[in-house]
Amino acid sequence: MSTAIDADTHYWEPLTAWSDYIDPGYRDQAPQFVDDHGRLLMRVGESVYPSMPNHPGLAKVYGPDETLHPQTIHDKRVSTDARERLREMDAQDAAVHIIYPTLGMVGFNGIGDAELAGACARAYNRYCADFAAADPERLKPVMLVPFNHPEVAAREITFARERCGLDVAFANPTPPDDVPWSDPRYDVIWSTLENADVTLTYHESTVGAGPTTTGINRYWGYGNMVYLCTHTVEPQLAVMDLVAGGVLHRHPRLRVGLLEAHVSWVPGWLQLVDYKIGPSHPVRGGPLSMPPSDYFRRQCFVAVFADDVGIAEAAEYLAHDNLVFSSDWPHKSLDTQDGSARALEARADLPADLKERLLHINARKWLRL
């Protein structure tokens, strides 16, 4: 019987996720691929991504006709065919897939036209609802939210929750327009997420990272350095912002997840934030009432990969409650890099009760499964 909950998987979704589902008045503005002297790029709203001029583009994965290269075409078909995916989940011993976008991570918080941003989010969320209809208990796509337009974002969160049945939202950890997450502009989003019982998750995409993302320009060309900046440093800053800026203090029922951020940094970073900020730190809505790390324990969780370092240390620091499992399939091919639940279960350095919490128990708490 499939039992593991995989908190971070993906689609290789087609552009028809927008062109087929967007309101007719915006169809000619739906995302599309463009050729830039042999580089395959993606137009989202007024901008083209990847935005870095020396990035090779998306042709390594997608072709102009939205096909994939032969070595990955199986994972594309399986990831976007609900029945095939359910069979693959059985093979992976996965009871539930939380499903993140691929193309949907690229540039949607940079659309300047608020109504177009909302239309793109609504189209994607309709696509997700249709996909999940094959088995809503096992297929759990995340909703696309235009965070750079807070009032529209609140409207689309409500639509995605009530009309599409989606209850996890995702954002890139770098805040849009370089405005801190603790700024009052986002208050309507936090209240809407909290009241709708929707879990907020941060998940970075280097391809979709904007110009204000830490290290994106400084280290471009050094892939692993860029990866660590976008996927690990930016989530640390987001957590600091939410805690030290008082967001979690003002919204005690808001749940926040960090996906593809790794975990070894958690104890040291939270200890340092406790040391430099501490309880009674002044924020909007009154001073913090407890140490920052306690807000994290109360409201945040982190996904770990099967081969991650620092799992045991982070689990001990967090009392085993705040870690969940993720495979990153199909971005990480389980044929060549075994990040499956079975690989985590096989680790001799982790106690059985911790593996049980990672694979089964904790995600049900944080994701309301």
**Contact of 249 with 295, CB cutoff 8 Å:** yes
Distance between the two ends of the chain, CA-based, in angstroms?
A: 17
Q: 110: closest CA among 179, 159, 56?
A: 179
In a domain, 349, yes or no: yes
What integer pLDDT is reported at residue 319 of this predicted model? 84
CATH at 115: 3.20.20.140
Q: What is the pTM of this model?
A: 0.94
Interaxial angle between packed helices 73-80 and 82-91, expressed in degrees from 0 to 180 and rounded to the nearest 10: 110
Cα–Cα distance for residue pair 322/156, rounded to 1 Å: 28
Burial of 168 (0-12, 13-18, 19+ CB in 10 A): buried
Cα–Cα distance for residue pair 220/215, rounded to 1 Å: 8
Peptide bond before 50: cis, by omega within 30 degrees of 0?
yes
- Which domain does 227 fall in, by range? 4-33+68-366
In a domain, 49, yes or no: no
pLDDT tens digits, one per residue of 196-227: 999 999 998 877 777 888 888 888 888 889 89
In a domain, 45, yes or no: no
Q: Please compute, for residue 257, the number of CA atoms within 13 A of its CA located in the half-sphere on the CB side.
A: 30
Structure tokens, 163: 């009309």
What integer pLDDT is reported at residue 66 of this predicted model? 56
What integer pLDDT is reported at residue 73 of this predicted model? 62
Q: Please compute, for residue 38, the number of CA atoms within 13 A of its CA located in the half-sphere on the CB side.
A: 2
Task: Count the domains in the chain.
Answer: 1
What integer pLDDT is reported at residue 216 of this predicted model? 84
What integer pLDDT is reported at residue 50 of this predicted model? 81
Please give the DSSP secondary-structure letter assigned to residue 306: T
Strand partners, 49: 42
Q: Percent of the chain, pLDDT > 90?
A: 74
pLDDT tens digits, one per residue of 135-166: 999 999 999 999 999 999 999 999 999 999 99
In a domain, 48, yes or no: no
In a domain, 54, yes or no: no
In a domain, 58, yes or no: no
Strand partners, 164: none
Average pLDDT across the chain, whole number: 92
Cα–Cα distance for residue pair 155/145, rounded to 1 Å: 9
In a domain, 303, yes or no: yes
In a domain, 55, yes or no: no
pLDDT along the chain (369 residues), means of 10: 88 93 97 89 90 77 61 73 94 94 92 97 98 98 98 98 98 94 98 98 84 86 89 96 96 98 98 91 86 97 96 94 95 73 94 96 94
